[in-house]
Structure 1
Amino acid sequence: MNLFSNTLIFHSELDAQLVAEQIYNCHLEGNLLIVPFKEQRAVDLAISLAGVDLPIVEGASCLLPFPKHERECQDDDVPQIYVACLSAYNNGKLHGMWIDCTQDASEIQEDIEWMLSWSPCRNYEACEEWAIHDYQNWHGIHIDEYEDIEKLAELAQALSEYGAAYATYYEYQGSEASIEDFQEHYYGQYETEEDFVYDQLEEQGVFKKLEEMGIPSLYLNLEAIARDWFIDSFYSVEEGYRKVHIFSRF
């Protein structure tokens, strides 16, 4: 039977039969169980359920359901992606899971590989290709179907820490965006540019000095000052109605 290549040797025919009941495409010959392909985890699960403890030469794909609850993202608020197995998708089957992107890139990759190892198509073809079929909690940022994992991890961690402010900055800067640049140049969220100017002047003690000189602060034209500041020194990115994020240019 050249379709089969891996042989499991059991101490009894009953043990072999109990395990065989949970494995796809197996061939039972006495206490020998011949199975296709390598799938050590699935065989371990089948043997555990059967209550036998025997050496394994190779593995096999198991009839157990995909236990995605073991690793699927359970936090509804974090940036996450739904990664699907393309082999399953191309064969008319849906197989994938939601993955937490606030993890390190290596952990995201491990989750993807684990999901692929449980693909329903593993019995007859290699399941190595995947794609992002959905995403959520990215504050309006578009995630490509084949987005770079390193980039996703960095972006998700920044969004978790800074929220919509970083998303607004990221959309404005594009590929040049970085957490270091954001931290260095971000001044905060204000209703208007004039409000930002007012806060800066107050922080610098300008209003107090004017008061000491007997000059009412209302004589200051905040709109004109803001116009000058935002030509050379600052720029603002609007998130919504009366909600702007302020950044320095230098």
Structure 2
Amino acid sequence: MSEHIRIYVADLAAYNAGHLHGAWIDATLELDDIQDQVTAMLAASPVEGAEEYAIHDFEGFDGYRLGEYEGLQHAHQIACFIEEYPEFGGALLAHCSDLEQARQAAEDDYCGCYASLADYAQELTEQTSSIPQHLAPYIDYRAMARDMEMGGDVFTLETGFEQVHVFWNR
């Protein structure tokens, strides 16, 4: 995961004139500060009267593909969500259809991070059921996990080796 969540904002007048001119900006700054940096970058343009810009690159969005014309406010909101949930924020946004759906999943449906979904199935079963010792070795937690996922009860995001984030699918 990148330490910085930032965007590269390009000056479109300079770009169209064959110049590379832009600035890397921390996307988690206050929106007014981001806009001030864009305004300063455009004021320093090698092309007279530069006004238009676009996001040409980004770092630290961890799986989420930020669009070129999504706008500073949306980029800022996405960056703040990823900063708030650094373990899985970018992957969750890539999985969900929008920011509000991702926020709901993070706040209401997150079960935790496990080495596997089977480990979560085992923990859930042991916390909610009384299992006789002599039957415990016969429980197939991998099959339970597969059924939970295939049945649509949960979805998972794998963000690294033995880093499986489990969410209830509501």
SS state at 1:132 partner: strand
Normalization by structure 2: what TM-score? 0.84
Runs of 4+ in 1 over 4 A off after TM superposition: none
* Separation in structure 2 between the aligned mates of residue 184 and residue 158 of structure 1, nearest angstrom: 15
Q: Which runs of 5+ in 1 are unaligned?
A: 1-75
SS state at 2:97 partner: helix
Answering whether residue 157 of structure 2 is matched by residue 237 of structure 1, we say: yes
1:1-80 correspondence to structure 2 within 5 Å: 77-80=3-6
User: Closer, same or farther in 2 for the Cα pair 1:232/1:131, shift >3 Å?
Assistant: closer
Shift of 1:129: 0.5
Match of 2:105 in 1: 181
Determine which of 111, 125, 131 is the counterpart of 1:210.
131
Match of 1:246 in 2: 166
Tell which structure's C-alpha radius of gyration is larger: 1
RMSD of aligned Cα (Å) = 2.2
Shift of 1:240: 4.5
Letter in 1 for 2:107: Q
Answering whether residue 19 of structure 2 is matched by residue 93 of structure 1, we say: yes
* Separation in structure 1 between the aligned mates of residue 152 and residue 55 of structure 2, nearest angstrom: 41
* Separation in structure 2 between the aligned mates of residue 182 and residue 218 of structure 1, nearest angstrom: 33
* Separation in structure 1 between the aligned mates of residue 102 and residue 160 of structure 2, nearest angstrom: 22
User: Closer, same or farther in 2 for the Cα pair 1:201/1:134, shift >3 Å?
Assistant: same
Shift of 1:162: 1.4
* Separation in structure 2 between the aligned mates of residue 234 and residue 92 of structure 1, nearest angstrom: 49
Answering whether residue 40 of structure 2 is matched by residue 114 of structure 1, we say: yes
* Separation in structure 2 between the aligned mates of residue 133 and residue 223 of structure 1, nearest angstrom: 43
Match of 1:151 in 2: 74
**Overall identity of the aligned pairs, in %:** 30
* Separation in structure 2 between the aligned mates of residue 185 and residue 135 of structure 1, nearest angstrom: 28
Letter in 2 for 1:127: A
Determine which of 228, 237, 244 is the counterpart of 2:147.
228
Q: Which has the higher contact order (CA 8 A, sep 6+)?
A: 2
Match of 2:92 in 1: 169
* Separation in structure 2 between the aligned mates of residue 108 and residue 141 of structure 1, nearest angstrom: 20
Q: Which runs of 5+ in 2 are unaligned?
A: none
* Separation in structure 2 between the aligned mates of residue 89 and residue 229 of structure 1, nearest angstrom: 50
